[in-house]
Amino acid sequence: EFFVKVGISEESEKKREQKAKFLTEIICMLSVKLCVLSLSNPESYMTNSVVETRLLNVADSFQRQYTVLFPDRKPLLLCPLNECGVKKFVSTTLQPSASSHCELQTWQGCAYFVANFLSLELLEPPPKHLFSPTSVLRTRRATCFEFATLLCSLLLGINYDAYCVSGYAAKEMCLLDQSQFPCPLLDSDVKVGFLLQLYRNIFCQEEDSQQQPEDLLRGLRVHCWVLVLAGSGSIRENFFIDPLTGSSYPTDSSSFLGIESVWNDLNYHVNMQDCRNGCVRLKFDLDNTNLWEPVLHGATSRKQLILDVLNKKENRMISTEKEVPCLFTFERVFEMPRSWVTFISIHEKDLETLWPDGKKVTFYKKAKLEKFAPYLNPDGVITRLTTYKHQDCECAEVAMVKEWYKHRNDSLEEREVNKLKDSTSERFKYGRRFQLLCKSQQMEFSSYARPDYLARRVWSTNEMEEFYEGRRDFLWYRQNETSLKLLKLKNKSLEANSNEKTVVERFHRNAAKPANEDVAERVFLVSEEQFELTYHLMDHRFIPSRRILTKPLFRKFSNDCVSTFQVSINVGDTRELHAKQNQYRRNHLTMTEKQLEEYQCFCSEKTTQIKATQIRLNRYTPTHTHTRTHTHTQWTD
C-alpha cells in the first residue's frame, strides 16, 4: 500500500509539472505577442487619450439610455475591441486617406480594390472586435464591418460623403453567396451577347419551377455596408455599396432589410424610422433629429464643414480693411476626436497582386469565374470564365470556357472554347502579324493596314470565304471551293489549281461604267475550264446580262467560244451610233463627199433601228420591264 501511494503521488507531481510548463509556455507566447504588438503598433492602438476616454463614457451613457427607451431593439455597435484588446469608438476607427494611385480616385476603383484584396471572415453577431484598416491590410482577412471600414476610409479620403451602415441584409449578401446570380462578366461583355441570350433561355426553362427555400433567419442576419450621399463630387443620388462584392445598389434595394445606425469620422447616427418594409421609405437627412438620433449633439457635420469652407472663401473675397469682432461665441458640447489609426498606405504591389495568394474563385449561377494576378500563370491568363449546363458546377458538364490574357508575345487577348459546338475562337490585339485580329472558323483583319484590304476570312472543311473593304476594283467578296479538306493539307504540298473547284468573286457597282458593262459576279469553273460573267442590273430590269467564256482544247481562243445573254438590244446600236458621231466630229473637215453620204446613211439607219426598238419596248412596258435576245454561237473543229 505504501508503494502504491508513493506511485500515485509521483504521478500527480508529474501532472503538476506538465501543467506548470504548459502555463509558462502560454505566458511566454502571450508576452511575445504583446511585445510584437507594442513594436508593430503605435501607442494610440494600445491606449486611449483623455478625449477618447470621455467619448467612451458618452457612448456608454448613450447605450444605457437607448436600451431603456428601446428594449426591443438590439444593442448598438459603439465601442468594440481593436486588435490590441482596447475599446475604441467606431467613428475613430475610420481614417480618411487619399491615395496617389489612379485606380483609387473613384468609388468604383476603391470598391473593386477592397472587394478583391481582402478575404471574408464570416461574422458572429454581435461583433465584439473591429480591427483597424491598417491591420486588415496587413492580414488581408476581414469581417464585413472591417470591409466597410476600409472602404469608407478610402472614400472619405477622396471627398465622398460616405458612411458605414450597420443593419440587416439578405442571406446571399451576408454569406457572399453569388451562386444564384448570373455572372456580371456575361452581362457586361458585348462580345458574348449571343451566348448570354442562349444561357438566359436555358435558365428560364430550367429554373422557373425551382424556388429557393425560405430563409428562417431573414431580417436577423447582421451585415455592414457603405452609404454614399448625394452632393459630393458628381454623385446625384444616394446609393449603397456592398464592400464584399464592390457592387452598387439603389437605397430601395430588396437585398437590404433594415438599418440600425450609420456613422462616419465625425458622428454616429441611430435610425429612428420604421424598417418593416426594408429600406424603401427611409430618408437619409441625417441633420433631422426626428429621423436620425446623433450620439454627439451639436457636433460638426460634413455639410457644415463644406459650408464653413465656402463662407470663408466668400469672406476673403468681400473682406474689408476693418474686421468687425464677433460678439457671441458658441461652444460645442463635444467634438469627435481624431482617429487613432495611422495613415492608410496602399503600395503599388498590392494593386498588382490584388487577390490573396494571387487568385480568386467565385461561383455564380451555372458559372465559375477565376481571376489571377498578372504573371502568375506561365500562359498569361488573368481571367477564366467557365459556364456549365447545370447548376452544380462540380459535377455539371462544361458548356463554354473563355479566357483573357495579358503580356503575351503573340498578342493573344481572348480565347473562347465552346464545348457544345466543339469550336474554338481566339482574338488578338493590334500589332499581330498579318494584322490578324481573330482566329477561328472566322478570321478578322485590319483591312486598311493590309495591301489587299482583306477584312474577314471564313473557312470550313471544303471552302473559304473572303470579304474585302475599300478596294479600287470594287471587289468585296471571294469564295474558293476546294475538293480536299483543309485539315488534311497540313503536311502535303499540292498545287492550288488542283484543289480548287470553283472560285466566285463579287463586285460593288462602279458608277463610272454602264450597268451592262459593269461586272457584278465572276465565277471560275476550274474543273470545266470556263468562267461566267454576270453584270449589274440595269434600271427597270430584273434579269442581268451574262456572258460565258469556255477555254478551247486544241486551238486559240476566239469569239466563237463566247456565249452572251444581252438584256437590251439597242445598247449595241446606240454605242455604234455614238462612236460614228464622235469620228465625224474629229474628221468632218477632211472627209470626202462619199464618206459624208455613207455617214448620213449609217446615221439614218441606226436611228430608225433604235426608234423601232424603243417603240417595241414601250409597247411591252406595262407587262414586261425589258426585252432580251440570246445569241449563242458554238464552235466545231
Residue 65 lies in a domain: yes
- Kindly provide the residue ranges of all beta strands, DSSP E only, lying in 204-299, ordered along the sequence: 222-228, 239-242, 247-250, 256-263, 268-271, 292-294
Task: Tell me the average pLDDT across 577-591.
Answer: 76
Q: Looking at the structure, tell me whether residues 579 and 625 fall in a common domain.
A: yes
Judgement on whether residues 420 and 473 belong to the same structural domain of the protein: yes
Residues 145-167: tens digit of each pLDDT: 999 999 999 999 998 999 999 99
181-185, 219-223, 323-327, 550-554: segment of lowest average pLDDT: 323-327
In a domain, 164, yes or no: yes
pLDDT on residue 305: 72
Is pLDDT of 40 > 70?
Answer: no
Higher local confidence (pLDDT), 619 or 330: 619
Kindly state whether residues 303 and 259 are assigned to the same domain: yes
- Asked if 558 and 574 sit in the same domain, the reply is no
Show which of 272, 307, 342 is a domain's final residue.
307
Q: How many Å is the maximal CA-CA distance in the chain?
A: 164
pLDDT one-digit tens code per residue, 6-28: 444 555 676 777 777 666 666 65
211-252 tens-digit pLDDT:
567 777 887 889 999 999 988 778 889 999 999 999 999 999
Based on the domain organization, do 553 and 587 belong to the same domain? no
Cell matching residue 13: 507531481
Whether residues 434 and 562 fall in one domain: yes
Q: How many CA atoms lie within 13 A of 63 on its CB side?
A: 14
Higher pLDDT, 447 or 314: 447
Q: Output 188 or 524, whichever has higher pLDDT.
A: 524
Length of the chain: 637
pLDDT digits (tens, 9 = 90+) for 292-346: 999 988 777 777 776 766 667 667 667 644 444 543 444 555 778 889 999 999 9
Number of domains into which the chain is organized: 3
pLDDT in tens, 406-446: 888 888 888 888 888 777 888 888 776 666 666 556 778 88
Domain annotation covers residue 6: no
Q: What is the pLDDT of residue 25?
A: 64
Q: What pLDDT score was predicted for residue 238? A: 93
Question: What pLDDT score does 366 carry?
Answer: 85
Q: Give me the pLDDT at residue 579, please.
A: 76
Co-location of 139 and 219 in the same domain:
yes
Please give the Cα distance from 120 to 124 (Å, whole number).
12
Question: Rounded to 5 degrees, what angle do the CA atoms 360, 365, 366 make?
Answer: 90
Tell me, yes or no, whether 270 and 369 share the same domain. no
Residue type, 249: Y
> CATH number of the domain that 151 lies in?
3.10.620
Say if pTM beats, i.e. exceeds, 0.85. no
pLDDT of residue 208: 45
* CA nearest neighbour of 533 among 523, 544, 543: 523
Taking residue 368's Cβ as centre, other Cβ atoms within 10 Å add up to: 19
Choose one of 566, 599, 616: the last residue of a domain.
Answer: 566
- pLDDT value at residue 27: 61
In contact, 332 and 300? CB cutoff 8 Å:
yes
pLDDT at 194 over 90: no
d(CA 82, CA 74): 21
The percentage of the chain sitting over the pLDDT mark of 90, rounded to a whole number, equals 29
Q: Which residue has the higher pLDDT, 208 or 575?
A: 575
In which band, very low, low, confident or very high, does the pLDDT at 210 lie, cut at 50, 70 and 90?
low
Phi-psi domain of 195 (left: phi exceeds 0; alpha: psi -120 through 50; beta: other): alpha
The predicted structure's pLDDT at residue 205: 47
Q: ∠ at Cα 437 (432, 441), nearest 5°? A: 125
CB 258 within 8 A of CB 234: no
Evaluate whether residue 334 is within a structural domain. no
Q: How far is CA 368 from CA 175, 210, 392, in A?
A: 17, 21, 11
Q: Answer yes or no: is 117 within a domain.
A: yes
Question: How many distinct helices (H) and strands (E) make up the chain?
Answer: 15, 26
Q: Which tens digits make up the pLDDT trace of 70-126?
A: 998 999 999 999 998 899 999 999 999 988 888 899 999 999 999 989 989 888 777
Residue 381 included in any domain: yes
Q: Quick check: is 439 in a domain?
A: yes
Q: How confident is the prediction for the chain on average, in pLDDT?
A: 78
Residue where one domain finishes, among candidates 566, 585, 610: 566
Tell me, yes or no, whether 540 and 577 share the same domain.
no
pLDDT exceeds 80 at position 519: yes
Phi and psi angles of residue 339, each rounded to the nearest 5 degrees, phi first = -65, 140
Q: What is the pLDDT of residues 344-402, one digit of tens each?
A: 999 888 888 787 778 888 888 888 899 888 888 888 898 999 988 876 656 578 888 99
For residue 433, the enclosing domain spans 354-485+497-566
- Same domain, residue pair 56 and 142: yes
Q: For residue 488, what pLDDT is reported?
A: 41
Both 437 and 367 in a single domain? yes
| Domain presence at residue 616 | yes
Q: Are residues 256 and 360 in the same domain?
A: no
Indicate the range of 299-308, 370-379, 492-501, 525-534 predicted with least confidence.
492-501
